[in-house]
Amino acid sequence: MARLLISDKLKRHLRSIYSVMPKVCKLPRSDYGSPGVFQYYFHHLEGVGKYQELRGEFCQDLRELGNIILFCQQLEIGMAQEEDLRELGNIILFCQQLEIGMAQEEVQDLLAAAAFTNVIPKPPAKSVAEQEKQLAKLEEKYSRIQLTNVVEKFGDDK
């Protein structure tokens, strides 16, 4: 649509305006003052002002072209913002996955170190008495590898 507007309508108007413009339009002397400079340009560009389609059709075509350009810019900005939001969402998702992975790794480390730190998970049992018996057996089984007792006995504050 923009190509059609530029190549057909605007090109025709610009050729007509160029044909009525003066071939030479020099800069007037500064000692004429503002009214003199205005009269100079008004006289030289009188043909452009008398162009019939200047205010109606030509300005409307320029307005349409400007609207097309603005629409494309807004579309580009919107697409860039959408892409930025998508990228931000991906970063947040990655951070969440990383956090979950680190939490799972910490849990696995704690489970692996449980026997050495006197943290023994409660075994499944049908009654509390049976569970206490199984827990006592596990504590006895892992009592030789518990490092916390050794550190408490022989370690210092450092």
Q: Indicate whether 33 and 105 sit together in one domain.
A: yes
- Of all residues in the chain, the percent with pLDDT exceeding 70 is 97
- Amino acid identity, residue 17? I
Mean pLDDT of the 137-146 span: 79
Same domain, 26 and 43: yes
**CA contacts within 13 A on the Cβ side of 35:** 0
Do residues 91 and 123 share a domain? Answer: no
pLDDT of amino acid 135: 84
User: What value does the mean pLDDT take over residues 38-58?
Assistant: 82
**What type of residue sits at position 60?**
Q
Residues 43, 69 within the same domain: yes
Say if residue 69 is in the same domain as residue 134. no
What is the reported pLDDT for 148?
A: 72
Q: Are residues 97 and 156 in the same domain?
A: no
Residue 115 banded pLDDT, cuts 50, 70, 90: low
User: Residue type at 32?
Assistant: Y
Residues 64 and 107 in one domain: yes
- Tell me the pLDDT of the chain averaged across its residues: 80
Boundaries of domain holding 143 = 117-158
Q: Based on the domain organization, do 90 and 23 belong to the same domain?
A: yes
| Residue 156 and residue 84 in one domain | no
The predicted structure's pLDDT at residue 56: 80
Q: How many structural domains comprise the chain?
A: 2
Q: Same structural domain for residues 126 and 97?
A: no
Same domain, 121 and 103: no
Cα separation, 41 vs 49, in Å, equals 11
What pTM did the predictor assign? 0.45
Judgement on whether residues 151 and 107 belong to the same structural domain of the protein: no
